[in-house]
């Protein structure tokens, strides 16, 4: 394809897949260019946002009716290589992210005039608008928002990504007025970094940009400055650094002086003020995302929606019962979980995931699972159970259960096994539309950046090919999904 195909992937290593067990099933495997016309797959709706290169509009899937958002880039507004790089950067970054508080993308399209990125539709709109409506938030509400934001930032930083443009306009509410589920968006300014090395490039928005970014060299803690500005605004309704124009605001930011003067700050706790002060300070003294999540003000005030213990136990039982009977079934379930399931269907599981994820890093560790299973069984039994669960559910072998892996294992089987979702998954794997899936089509879906031997993919097909014709028809496909062995 055009501008995106011309870019070579960075930070990739040539991996060699020699056996079926070496295949890593990841959400990014399914975020690919749809070779159909956008208009043949989605019906375009009203505009819900705009940017430098085009609009964001609602769209609905013509077959399922699923409502999503689409970011439309006009090519005539992004002719220069630097502007094209923003588009490529956002797509490449979002493809690899898997966190409950970071926007998920589904697929992308390209035609002669435009480029389309299809993503989750967050009906609640921007946090910026919610701030204007409410004017300010109490400390419990502010902490609830910041806990989710710090979790997303921690996840980004642990994955070597700095956002560089965190602001209320780039934070969406999943539902109107509901601050319990936020999503960080707009990764066009993001970049990869290596811990301990300085980053260059002046990007960001004047109210939220850190002094060191203005100086030209900085590290990932520039994101934490932006978080500090947001926390200040949440508690009082106006920014800590202000002016009549951008030049005046930038001068205020460079000086780094702010106050807690005014009637509204009299009712704000010293702990909250201390947290802000430890974010709006020199980068060398500034809190990291992990430290912010452990700050006394956060631990005292931040409580994400805590699910009923029985619901958590039910999810744990689903993890116990999960068995990846074949690599293809695992891939199909992963596709349905990441590409077909609505935000409504994942809401409760997301809350459970966040309740288990006690350090808020966006993934479940062995220790976090142990803490849950030790509540319902002995230490030795819990240890054995967690070992088995990690072996079954951690399909990308990174030592953790990622968000999508958790959803795949804990999701209601009736949703995963619906005829509608099975048909969507079959059509996605059936690249040439001939109503059967070949080894080559499975390879195209799952190989990713690796190289592999053809026998690996023939083996995957052979495991489930009942009539031995070398391909999988829809009946065989259904049996794979419905098999509970």
By annotation, the residues acting in catalysis are 165
387 marked among binding-site residues: no
- Mean pLDDT in residue range 52-58: 89
Is residue 102 one of the residues assigned to a domain?
Answer: yes
User: Is 13's pLDDT higher than 50?
Assistant: no
Tally of domains within the chain: 3
- The mean per-residue pLDDT over the stretch 297-313 comes to 82
Q: Do 215 and 70 sit in the same domain of this protein?
A: no
Q: Is residue 266 part of a domain?
A: yes
Encoded tokens for 483: 């098999």
| Residue 56 CB-half CA count within 13 A | 18
Residues 276 and 351 in one domain: no
Domain co-membership, 455 together with 476: yes
Closest CA to 304 of 348, 341, 351: 351
In this structure, is residue 207 part of a structural domain? yes
Query: Residues 400-413: pLDDT tens digits?
Result: 999 999 999 999 88
Q: What is the mean pLDDT of residues 156-160?
A: 97
Q: In this structure, what are the phi and psi dihedrals at residue 16, rounded to the nearest 5 degrees?
A: -115, 120
Output the pLDDT for position 128. Answer: 97
Rama region for 360: left / alpha / beta (φ>0; ψ in -120 to 50; rest): left
Find the length of the chain. 485
User: Strand locations in 301-406, DSSP E?
Assistant: 363-364, 401-402
Residue 26 lies in a domain: no
Compute the average pLDDT of residues 96-113: 94
Q: Are residues 98 and 207 in the same domain?
A: no
Residue numbers of the domain that contains 48: 31-119
Vertex 315: Cα angle to 310 and 321 (nearest 5):
125
pLDDT tens column, 429-463: 988 888 999 988 888 888 776 677 778 888 888 88
Q: How many Å separate Cα 412 from the centre of its chain?
A: 21
Say if residue 363 is in the same domain as residue 450.
Answer: yes
Is residue 7 included in any domain, yes or no? no
Verify that 102 and 222 share a domain, yes or no.
no
- Residue 433 pLDDT: 84
Q: 245 and 135 in one domain?
A: yes
**Around Cβ 294, how many Cβ atoms within 10 Å?**
14
Reported as a pLDDT band with limits 50, 70 and 90, residue 127 is very high
Q: Both 313 and 277 in a single domain?
A: no
- Residues 11-36, mean pLDDT to the nearest whole number: 75
- pLDDT > 70: what percent of the chain? 95
Task: Please give the full DSSP string across 279-344, using - where no structure is assigned.
Answer: HSS-TTTSPPHHHHHTSHHHHHH----PPPHHHHHHHHHHHHH-----HHHHHHHHHHHHHT--HH
Burial call 420-434: b when 16+ CB within 10 Å, e when fewer: ebbbbbbebbbbeee
Residue 449's CATH number: 1.10.238.10
Q: Averaging pLDDT over each range in 71-75, 98-102, 452-456, which range is the top one?
A: 98-102
One domain for residues 461 and 325: yes
One domain for residues 284 and 323:
no
- 220-264, pLDDT tens digit by residue? 999 999 999 999 999 999 999 999 999 999 999 999 999 999 999
Statement to judge: residues 179 and 280 lie in one domain: yes
Instruction: Give residue-wise pLDDT tens across range 363-376.
Output: 999 999 999 999 98
């Amino acid at each position: 394809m055009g501008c995106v195909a011309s870019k070579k992937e960075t930070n990739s290593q040539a991996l060699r897949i020699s056996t079926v067990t070496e295949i890593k099933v990841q959400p990014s495997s399914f975020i690919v260019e749809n070779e159909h016309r956008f208009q043949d797959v989605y019906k375009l709706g009203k505009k819900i946002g705009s940017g430098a290169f085009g609009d964001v509009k609602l769209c609905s899937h013509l077959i399922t009716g699923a409502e999503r958002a689409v970011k439309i880039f006009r090519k005539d507004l992004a002719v220069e290589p630097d502007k094209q790089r923003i588009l490529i950067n956002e797509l490449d970054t979002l493809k690899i992210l898997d966190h409950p508080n970071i926007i998920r993308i589904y697929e992308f399209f390209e035609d002669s005039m435009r480029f389309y990125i299809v993503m989750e539709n967050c009906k609640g709109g921007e946090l910026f608008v919610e701030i204007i409506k409410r004017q300010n938030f109490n400390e419990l509400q502010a902490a609830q928002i910041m806990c989710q934001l710090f979790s997303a930032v921690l996840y980004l930083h642990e994955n070597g990504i700095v956002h560089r443009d965190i602001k209320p306009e780039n934070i969406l509410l999943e539902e109107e007025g509901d601050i319990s589920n936020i999503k960080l968006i707009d990764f066009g300014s993001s970049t990869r970094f290596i811990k301990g090395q300085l980053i260059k490039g002046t990007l960001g928005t004047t109210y939220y940009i850190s002094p060191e970014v203005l100086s030209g060299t900085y590290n990932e803690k520039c994101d934490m400055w932006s978080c500090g500005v947001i926390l200040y605004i949440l508690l009082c309704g106006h920014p800590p650094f202000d002016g009549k124009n951008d030049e005046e605001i930038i001068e205020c930011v460079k000086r780094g002086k702010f106050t807690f003067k005014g009637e509204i700050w009299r009712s704000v706790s010293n702990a909250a003020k201390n947290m802000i002060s430890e974010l709006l300070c020199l980068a060398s003294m500034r809190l990291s995302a992990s430290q912010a999540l452990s700050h006394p003000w956060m631990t005292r005030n931040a409580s994400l929606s805590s699910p009923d213990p029985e619901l958590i136990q039910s999810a744990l039982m689903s993890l116990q019962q999960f068995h990846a009977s074949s690599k293809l079934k695992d891939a199909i379930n992963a596709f349905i979980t990441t590409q077909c399931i609505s935000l409504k269907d994942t809401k409760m599981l997301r809350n459970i995931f966040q309740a288990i994820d006690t350090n808020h890093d966006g993934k479940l560790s062995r220790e976090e699972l142990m803490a849950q299973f030790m509540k319902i069984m002995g230490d030795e039994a819990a240890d054995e159970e967690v070992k088995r669960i990690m072996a079954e559910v951690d399909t990308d072998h990174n030592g953790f259960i990622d968000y999508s892996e958790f959803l795949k294992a804990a999701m209601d089987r009736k949703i995963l096994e619906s005829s509608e979702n099975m048909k969507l998954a079959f059509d996605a794997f059936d690249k040439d539309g001939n109503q059967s899936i070949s080894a080559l089509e499975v390879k195209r879906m799952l190989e990713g950046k690796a190289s592999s031997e053809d026998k690996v993919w023939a083996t995957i097909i052979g495991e489930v090919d009942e009539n031995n014709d070398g391909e999988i028809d829809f009946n065989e496909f259904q049996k794979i999904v419905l098999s509970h062995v």
